[in-house]
């Protein structure tokens, strides 16, 4: 069993990256949330595996936090929000998928070349994971830039957090517990605030299109 653990970890790392690609090319909001849930699940699996391989019980706690937050609580909240706002079947038409994918591939190459001199120093078993984590962060960043609706922007933000947690887990075998709890708390509160904002934006503008939020500009 043990000899398969690094392979399995790499598999889940790759899944996290593939899911990031799936998310930047997904137009339907409800599918986007499902993809985000899957990414959270892959992150949980990777954390548990790294914890098992390195005998670090802290990582099980961290995996548990991710499970509760990113797989159960936040997707449930997001589903609730889109049902209440009635944007469940909304489709975003503006993104150009082939170009986005090409730029995404460029970002992955950039991340790996940036991480290359460092990941060979990594003590952790998954040596490619730093590049993958950085690529996830940049892909989510791109998603936030290209999307014009509020919910996909928030999911981009959360997926960026996933990439960061994966970096902390796979590259350094987990941050100190107190920091992990603090991060989880910040993310949860952040999502709650953004959720409330979405209702208020809708009330003010009758739509969740971020293009409405472009009136504050320099003359």
Partner 1 sequence: MQALFFVLGIPLLGSAVLAFTGHRSYARDINVGFSLGTFAAACVLTVQIIAHGPRFAWGQLFFIDPLNMFLVTLTTFVGLTTAIFSRPYMRVEQDHGKMTPPRMRLYHSMYQLFSFTMLLALTTNNMGILWVAMEAATLTTVLLVSVYRTAASLEAAWKYFILCGVGIAQALFGTVLLYMAAEKVLGAEGGTLLWTHLEAVKAQLDPDIVMLAFAFLFIGYGTKIGLVPLHNWLPDAHAEGPTPVSAVLSGLLLNVALYAVLRCKVLADGALHSLLASQLMMGFGLLSVVVAAFFLSRQKDVKRMFAYSSIEHMGLISFAFGMGGPIANFAGLLHMTVHSLTKSAIFFTVGHATQKAGTQVMSEIRGLIKVNPAVGWGMILGVMAILGMPPFGVFASEFLILTTAMREQPWATPFLFLALGVAFASVLVRVLPMVFGETSLKPLAHPPALVPVFVHLGLALMLGLYIPHYLNVWYVQAARMLGG
Binding site for partner 1 (CB under 8 A): 114, 117-118, 121-123, 133-134, 137, 141, 144, 150, 153, 157, 160-161, 164, 167-168, 171-173, 175-176, 178-179, 182-183, 185-186, 189-190, 193-194, 197, 200-201, 204-205, 210, 212-216, 218-219
Q: Which is nearer to partner 1, 90 or 161 (CB)?
A: 161
Three-class SS state of 62? helix
Longest CA pairwise span in the chain (Å): 64
Q: Which is nearer to partner 1, 15 or 164 (CB)?
A: 164
Measured from the CB of residue 219, what is the shortest distance to partner 1 in angstroms? 7
For 145-158, give the DSSP string.
HH--BHHHHHHHHH
H-type helices in 67-176, by residue range?
Answer: 74-85, 97-119, 129-146, 150-172
Measured from the CB of residue 88, what is the shortest distance to partner 1 in angstroms? 21
Measured from the CB of residue 187, what is the shortest distance to partner 1 in angstroms? 9
Measured from the CB of residue 55, what is the shortest distance to partner 1 in angstroms? 12
Measured from the CB of residue 162, what is the shortest distance to partner 1 in angstroms? 11
Q: Which is nearer to partner 1, 57 or 98 (CB)?
A: 57
Q: Which is nearer to partner 1, 4 or 196 (CB)?
A: 196
H helix and E strand count, the chain:
8, 0
Residue 69: CB atoms within 10 A of its CB come to: 21
Q: Which is nearer to partner 1, 4 or 211 (CB)?
A: 211
Q: Which is nearer to partner 1, 80 or 211 (CB)?
A: 211
Measured from the CB of residue 168, what is the shortest distance to partner 1 in angstroms? 5
The CA distance from 31 to 25, in Å, is 11
Close Cβ partners of 71 (under 8 Å, ≥ 6 residues apart): 37, 40, 41, 44
The CA distance from 130 to 116, in Å, is 8
């Amino acid at each position: 069993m043990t000899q398969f653990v690094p392979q399995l970890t790499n598999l889940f790392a790759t899944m996290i990256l593939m899911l990031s690609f799936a998310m930047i090319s997904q137009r339907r909001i409800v599918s986007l949330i499902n993809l985000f849930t899957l990414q959270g699940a892959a992150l949980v699996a990777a954390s548990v595996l790294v914890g098992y391989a390195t005998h670090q019980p802290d990582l099980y706690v961290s995996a548990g936090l991710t499970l509760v937050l990113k797989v159960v609580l936040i997707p449930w909240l997001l589903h609730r929000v889109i049902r209440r706002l009635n944007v469940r079947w909304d489709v975003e038409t503006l993104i150009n998928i082939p170009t986005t994918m090409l730029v995404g591939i460029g970002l992955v190459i950039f991340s790996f070349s940036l991480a290359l001199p460092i990941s060979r120093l990594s003590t952790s078993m998954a040596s490619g994971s730093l590049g993958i984590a950085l690529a996830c962060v940049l892909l989510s960043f791109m998603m936030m830039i290209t999307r014009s609706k509020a919910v996909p922007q928030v999911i981009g933000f959360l997926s960026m957090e996933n990439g960061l947690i994966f970096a902390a887990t796979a590259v350094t075998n987990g941050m100190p517990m107190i920091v992990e709890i603090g991060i989880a708390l910040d993310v949860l509160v952040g999502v709650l605030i953004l959720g409330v904002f979405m209702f208020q934006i809708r009330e003010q503008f009758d739509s969740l299109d971020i293009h409405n939020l472009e009136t504050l500009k320099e003359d």
